[in-house]
Amino acid sequence: MSLDLDRKANRLITEKSPYLLQHAYNPVDWYPWGKEAFEKAKSKDTPIFLSIGYSTCHWCHVMEKESFEDSVVANLLNQDFVCIKVDREERPDIDHIYMQVCQALTGSGGWPLTIIMTPERHPFYAATYLPPLSRGGMPGLLELLPRLSQLWKNDRETALNAGQEVSNLIKITPRVKTGIQLSEEVFIRAFKQYEQAFDSAYGGFGSAPKFPTPHTLLFLLKYYELHREKKALQMVEKTLLSMYQGGIYDHIGFGFSRYSTDRKWLVPHFEKMLYDNALLAMSYLEADRITGSHFYGRVAGEIFTYILRDMTSPEGGFYSAEDADSEGEEGKFYAWSPDEVMHVLGPRGAHYCEMYDITDAGNFEGRSIPNLVKNIRVTDARAELEQERQALFAHREKRVKPHKDDKILSSWNGLMIAALAMGYRIIKDERYLQAAERAADFVLRKLRREDGRLLARYREGEALYPAYAADYAYLIWGLIELHEAGSDSRYLKAAQELNNDLLKLFWDKEKGGLFFYGEDSEKLLIRPKEVYDGAMPSDNAVATSNFLRLGRMTGNANLEERVRDQFLLFAGTINENPTAYAFWLLVALNQRQTGLRIVL
């Protein structure tokens, strides 16, 4: 492959997104999503090559290095396509829609997301990561791009018809079985399904790769609280302990990585996301509250130590993520050899290596990720070796650090505000309340327009993009938690104001439910509604929880009516596959606690 050494900036150089800026010196003639790009495609009479990713995505880095920095690939793209880059974290609306396309066409999805579409934005080809040359059953861009270009030039009707068919397919609204109530049987069935999927040896649900599923754990904790089903609590405790023992937890600097590539939680995909750490902190805090075991509170406290040390802006907002890669290698920042440990710790290093599985053979590409998977003395290891941990942390700080995505998102900040407020309520550490209040004040001050409209992203003094339903729902959640933690009434007032705006801008006045983006936002191919609880709980589920809590706090019967409306609309969907809707189930259990003020 030939690399273009004449690094000239493209249009992305004026953007604020860290992901778009990573591509600002590619030889590809990238455009940001916008009117200029679509007009160019129409005037040039070429299809659009749409690439969607995020700055801490490992395979996005791989595709950039292999293909988008290659002059031959770039020439093909520049000649026959108009190329658009989108940061999925800034524009989740675009990502959501075209990920539906990819899943419909290929049966799977992921990032980087690759879409070929008409100038009218109708997609006719979809894929995820693509190498420059075909391998392992994946088409290579050097073969694929000319074929797609020829299709456009010589058989355009086929491409146009395919694009229209795909667009029509994703516009079909799934049939909703309305009027169904969530009976006790649904909760029992969900519990049984989790029990069947549970890994009794290492915790978690299903096989590798294993993702933390915080809202599943929160549902099971609530199920235990209401039904005294010991197996529900056992599944949660085993999972929380096993995740902490694994390499998915950073035993030197704290915080959790995105997911584990293996069953044991040993080898993670090393990127750290703000939302994962917020939701996991909530799970550990709830386990502390319910069991009285302060081990869980300690883990939550360590997560907060990481966030307040490494992921907090001088103004008080929280950054989005840290990369898996440093110096071009995944996990390099986090892995160790015995010689390195002995160099830092001297004679004490042998004991640390024994306790934390640092070996000559290694457990990750010849090096070792510190972990306690084989160590039953989990609490002892942590207590005995705190000085050693601090010394290793100080040494690790001298390494080249992974890239930090320092944009501030209203949605993810809302989750961390909620987690910190819960942390204060349960652990009674004043620092957590102060950090939550400071972040909330920052978002309310810097991410709202003069007319009160919430915005989605802040970076380098610029707030941009009308906020999505998730931004409103998660931030309202955080403000409710602040109020419950004893903060003054201005946070409850702000929650009520934002909730009114949410209903005004996002509520479907004909069928009910919240649309993904507001009525004042850019109109895309479709205006979807998110119901599924994925890596984060859905905006509709969290908003329903907020309606319930605000209704009971303030005596607003209209909001409790909205809760009933939401369940009448979505209960049929939830009933079909309840384990895909864990946060909905949690809200439904809370709803059954008639008359109680709901604290998560």
Please state the separation of Cα 334 from the chain's center in Å: 21
Mean pLDDT of the chain: 95
Q: How confident is the model at residue 2 (pLDDT cuts 50, 70, 90)?
A: very low
Beta strands in 284-389 (DSSP E): 321-322, 325-326, 329-330
Flag whether pLDDT at 6 surpasses 90. no
Over residues 141-167, the mean pLDDT reads 93
Residues 6+ apart with CB under 8 A from 191: 220, 223, 229, 231, 232
Q: How confident is the model at residue 383 (pLDDT cuts 50, 70, 90)?
A: confident
Note the pLDDT of residue 167. 87
Note the pLDDT of residue 585. 98
Helix (H) and strand (E) counts for the chain?
A: 23, 15
pLDDT tens digit string along 564-593?
A: 999 999 999 999 999 999 999 999 999 988
Flag whether pLDDT at 4 surpasses 60. no
pTM, two decimals, is 0.96
Over residues 181-195, the mean pLDDT reads 95
Q: How confident is the model at residue 180 (pLDDT cuts 50, 70, 90)?
A: confident
Over residues 317-342, the mean pLDDT reads 97
Note the pLDDT of residue 378. 80
CA-closest candidate to residue 255, choices 316, 324, 162, 341: 324
Token couple for 204: 């978690």
Over residues 240-263, the mean pLDDT reads 97
Quickly tell me which residue has 């992305």 as its tokens.
Answer: 12
Note the pLDDT of residue 581. 98
Note the pLDDT of residue 171. 83
pLDDT tens digit string along 437-465?
A: 999 999 999 999 999 999 999 999 999 99
Percent of the chain with pLDDT over 70: 97
Over residues 234-241, the mean pLDDT reads 98
Flag whether pLDDT at 178 surpasses 70. no
Angle 338-345/349-356 helices, nearest 10 degrees? 140
Question: What is the C-alpha separation between 164 and 286, in angstroms, rounded?
Answer: 48
| CATH code, residues 11-171 | 3.40.30.10
CA-closest candidate to residue 215, choices 471, 583, 467, 597: 583
Single-letter residue type at 566: Q
- Comparing 78 with 178, the larger pLDDT belongs to 78
Domain spans of the chain, in order of start: 11-171, 329-404
pLDDT tens digit string along 226-237?
A: 999 999 999 999
CA-closest candidate to residue 423, choices 280, 545, 532: 280
pLDDT tens digit string along 145-154?
A: 999 999 999 9
pLDDT tens digit string along 471-494?
A: 999 999 999 999 999 988 999 999
CA-closest candidate to residue 57, choices 397, 471, 334, 403: 403
Q: How confident is the model at residue 597 (pLDDT cuts 50, 70, 90)?
A: low
Angle, CA 321 vertex, CA 123 and CA 501 arms, to 5°:
70
* CB-CB contact of 462 with 523 (8 Å): no
- For the four alpha carbons of 204, 263, 254 and 580, in that order, the dihedral sign comes to negative
pLDDT tens digit string along 491-550?
A: 999 999 999 999 999 999 999 999 999 999 999 999 999 999 999 999 999 999 999 999
373-378 own/partner pairs: CB under 8 Å, 24+ apart: 373/242, 373/245, 373/246, 373/247, 373/264, 373/265, 373/266, 375/245, 378/241, 378/244, 378/245
* CB-CB contact of 18 with 85 (8 Å): no
CA-closest candidate to residue 127, choices 147, 94, 93, 103: 103
